[in-house]
Each structure stands twice: as structure tokens, then as C-alpha cells.
């Protein structure tokens, strides 16, 4: 089964041994970050540093001249990835015989929300989520689509993986997160992720809803959640909390918004890329879900993308809805965390891969070659050399 590992440019730049080390661990394909959100990351084998702090979301290459005078526009990286860090890392990997695909994070950008507050998702209480750009706003959509094309089609890249290509919501590790005091469940997460910016208010109005009344209904519906009295049965709970008609209308607006963004972003990448360039989407098969793995309609997304990367740490069942719509050549990549300190299980990689294959996975993604310990990577190498 074809396998790729995620990697940051700072895992390679300044460490001449990094590409050969990956080859020794059995890694022949890398998904390399080209546009990424803020993070703090360990680099356990780097000769010059052990912790990299990416202070804000940025592109990890010099942004093009098309952004001159535009807002929003991508931010250049700081010391963590100066110049063309992506290009430097990609060349070193390719010289070692490793195939490189770009990794592009789109609707996840805290600095954008800080510098341009009006771009952010606004919940029913009026709270802004600066890490979550509202993907319904025309200027934000234009920025994300152009960013997708530029960041994806880097020199030498054979394909791309688009992350956060859809709605972002409440659930996100934002600075020192302290939001677990009340278990929200799927219904609470959905209601706390509904956006009430001016653009989304117009969208709800187009669905026959009064935006102010809807916001009031959402706040009232969340009261039993705050008291710990709400059942969590997924979408049925959303309907119970705010009413089936209102729930269906919000979902119709949001799913159409996400679907058309995904179409536009993938189309822009294809227009900028060579004919054999592979375009994958990090995706969740439940359309109303928010986050890095954007909620999608499996049938639709597989009609426009070459495939999907599906979160499978803790279980591979999310593959099944995509497998039902796969065609010849469709890529279904099971994304498995192999960093034991982050909840991964490199020791069971071979068994997990076999289970994913049974549910239709054609490829594996390993998160994350730069963050994993030597012991974790040794178990990865063992699994890759002796697949079940």
C-alpha cells in the first residue's frame, strides 16, 4: 500500500541527514507543509534546534506578486521558515529519491482573524473565532482559492493535500485551550460553530430564516447543553434543540457554501497544475462536521477531487462512506497518527493498515515523521517492511 508521511520544512532545512534518515525508516513519499497554521513543534533529531515556534499562520515560501495590495493575503513566515524553506526542503527530499506532495492549510488562520476581525466566524452569542475564517465571505473565499492554487503547485510537487477546505468552528486547540469544562457533544459543537456574520445572516435569510430569531433559538437551544441535560445523538439532537426546519436550513446554507468552496479551490489548483497533478482533500464523511478534516458529501467530493485523506486514528469506520463512492483510481488515504506521545499507536500500524485496507483504503498517511521519536519511527519501519 502506497504510504506517505507528513513533514514540515524545518524538519529538513538545516539537517542534511534528514532525507537519508527518512529513507532508512522506509519513507519514500512526503506530504510537505507549504502553507501552515501557527504551531509549536518538537524537532527531536535536528542538529540546531529542538523546538520550533511558528508564531502565526504563514506560507513557507515567498508569496507571489499577485497578492500586492490585496487583503486578506498570505503572511510570510518568520525565523521558523525564512525564504523558500519549502523549496529548499523539497529539493533535498527529491534528491534523496523521495516524492514530494504539498500540504496546504486553508481556513485556519488566527492572525488573519486578529488583523481582520470581520473575516472571522461569529457565534450566536456574538463571540468571534479568530482562528476560523468564515468561508461564506466573498473576499475570504477568493483569498482561499488563490492561496490553494499558489501553495499547492510548488516546483517539483507531484500533488497536493488541501486541509481545512471548509468550515472551521469551535473545536480547535487555540493557544492554551480551556473549553472542555462542559461536554458539548456533536450537537453543541455544531450550534457553537454556526456563523452569524453579516454574510451568513444573508445566507440564512435566503433559506427563509430570520437571522436574529435563529440566533435566539440557538442560544435557547444550548441552555440544556450548558446545564449538562442534553442528550447527544448527533444530528437528531440538533433538530431537537433548535427544531428540524431551522436545523435543515442552516445545514443547507453551510453545506452549499463548503461544497462550492471545495469545487473552486480544487478547480483553481487543477488550472495551475500539470495534467497529472494529484489533488486530495482532508475530509470527514459527515457533511455538517467542522475542522481540519472538512465535512463533505462523499459522493460529491469524489466527483471533483482525486481522493480524500480520512482521519483513522482510533478507528477506520470513516472510510466506509467514501469507499461506497470510489471509482477506479480514487485515492482513499487512511490517516494514522504514529506519534505515541500524541495518542498514536505505531506498534499497531500494520494491523491498523490492514483494517483500513479491508474498508477500502488504497494508501496510508502517517502523522508525523518530524514529530515522532526514534522508537516510534523504528516501529513504523518494521510495519512498512513487514505489512500484514
pLDDT band at 119 (very low <50, low <70, confident <90, very high): very high
Residue 207's pLDDT is 98
> Which of the two residues, 24 and 180, has the higher pLDDT score?
24
Residue 175's pLDDT is 74
Give the mean model confidence (pLDDT) for residues 37-41. Answer: 95
Residue 283's pLDDT is 98
> Is residue 293 packed enough to be buried (19+ CB in 10 Å), middle (13-18) or exposed (0-12)?
buried
Give the mean model confidence (pLDDT) for residues 153-181. Answer: 90
pLDDT higher than threshold 90 for residue 224 = yes
Angle subtended by helix axes 211-226 and 244-272, to nearest 10? 110
pLDDT higher than threshold 90 for residue 387 = no
Give the mean model confidence (pLDDT) for residues 180-204. Answer: 95
Q: Where are the domains of the chain?
A: 2-179+259-385
CB 106 within 8 A of CB 164: yes
Residue 176's pLDDT is 74
CB 174 within 8 A of CB 225: no
CB 78 within 8 A of CB 55: yes
Tens of pLDDT along 127-140?
999 999 999 999 99
Residue 174's pLDDT is 72
CA distance 213 to 216: 5
Residue with cell string 483494517: 355
CA distance 221 to 166: 25
Tens of pLDDT along 46-59?
999 999 999 999 99
Tens of pLDDT along 169-189?
998 777 778 778 899 999 999
Residue with cell string 480524500: 308
CA distance 317 to 190: 21
Tens of pLDDT along 236-286?
999 999 999 999 999 999 999 999 999 999 999 999 999 999 999 999 999
Mean pLDDT rounded to a whole number for the chain: 96
pLDDT higher than threshold 90 for residue 388 = no
CA distance 216 to 365: 42
Task: Using alpha carbons only, give the angle 108, 268, 101 rounded to the nearest 5 degrees.
Answer: 70
Give the mean model confidence (pLDDT) for residues 307-314. Answer: 96
CA distance 51 to 266: 34
Give the mean model confidence (pLDDT) for residues 288-308. Answer: 97
Residue 17's pLDDT is 97
What fold is seen in the domain 2-179+259-385? TIM Barrel (3.20.20)
Residue 222's pLDDT is 96
Candidates 143, 154, 168, 167; CA nearest to 75 is 143
pLDDT higher than threshold 80 for residue 339 = yes
Amino acid at each position: 500500500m502506497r504510504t506517505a508521511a507528513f513533514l514540515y520544512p524545518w524538519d529538513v532545512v538545516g539537517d542534511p541527514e534528514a532525507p537519508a534518515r527518512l529513507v532508512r525508516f522506509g519513507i519514500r513519499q512526503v506530504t510537505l507543509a507549504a502553507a501552515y497554521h501557527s504551531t509549536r513543534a518538537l524537532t527531536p533529531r535536528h542538529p540546531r534546534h529542538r523546538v520550533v515556534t511558528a508564531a502565526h499562520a504563514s506560507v513557507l515560501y515567498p508569496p507571489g506578486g499577485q497578492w500586492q495590495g490585496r487583503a486578506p493575503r498570505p503572511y510570510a513566515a518568520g525565523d521558523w521558515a525564512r525564504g523558500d524553506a519549502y523549496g529548499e526542503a523539497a529539493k533535498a527530499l527529491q534528491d534523496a529519491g523521495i516524492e514530494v506532495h504539498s500540504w496546504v492549510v486553508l481556513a485556519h488562520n488566527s492572525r488573519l482573524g486578529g488583523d481582520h476581525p470581520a473575516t472571522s466566524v461569529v457565534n450566536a452569542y456574538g463571540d468571534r473565532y479568530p482562528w476560523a475564517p468564515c468561508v461564506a465571505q466573498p473576499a475570504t473565499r477568493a483569498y482561499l482559492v488563490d492561496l490553494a492554487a499558489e501553495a499547492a503547485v510548488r516546483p517539483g510537487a507531484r500533488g497536493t493535500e488541501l486541509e481545512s477546505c471548509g468550515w472551521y468552528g469551535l473545536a480547535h486547540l487555540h493557544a492554551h485551550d480551556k473549553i472542555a469544562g462542559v461536554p458539548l457533544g456533536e450537537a453543541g459543537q455544531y450550534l457553537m460553530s454556526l456563523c452569524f456574520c453579516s454574510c451568513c445572516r444573508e445566507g440564512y435569510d435566503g433559506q427563509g430564516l430570520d437571522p436574529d430569531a435563529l440566533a435566539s433559538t440557538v442560544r435557547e437551544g444550548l441552555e440544556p447543553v450548558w446545564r449538562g441535560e442534553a442528550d447527544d445523538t448527533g444530528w437528531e439532537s440538533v433538530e431537537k434543540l433548535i427544531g428540524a426546519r431551522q436545523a435543515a436550513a442552516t445545514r443547507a446554507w453551510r453545506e452549499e457554501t463548503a461544497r462550492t468552496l471545495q469545487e473552486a479551490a480544487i478547480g483553481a489548483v487543477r488550472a495551475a497544475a500539470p495534467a497529472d497533478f494529484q489533488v486530495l482533500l482532508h475530509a470527514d464523511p459527515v457533511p455538517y462536521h467542522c475542522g481540519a478534516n472538512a465535512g463533505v458529501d462523499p459522493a460529491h467530493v469524489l466527483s471533483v477531487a482525486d481522493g480524500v485523506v480520512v482521519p483513522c486514528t482510533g478507528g477506520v469506520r470513516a472510510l466506509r462512506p467514501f469507499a461506497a463512492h470510489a471509482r477506479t483510481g480514487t485515492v482513499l488515504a487512511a490517516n494514522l497518527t504514529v506519534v505515541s506521545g500524541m495518542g498514536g499507536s505505531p506498534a499497531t500500524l500494520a494491523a491498523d493498515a490492514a483494517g483500513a485496507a479491508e474498508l477500502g483504503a488504497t494508501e496510508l498517511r502517517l502523522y508525523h515523521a518530524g514529530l515522532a521519536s526514534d522508537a516510534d519511527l523504528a516501529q513504523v519501519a518494521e510495519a512498512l517492511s513487514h505489512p500484514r
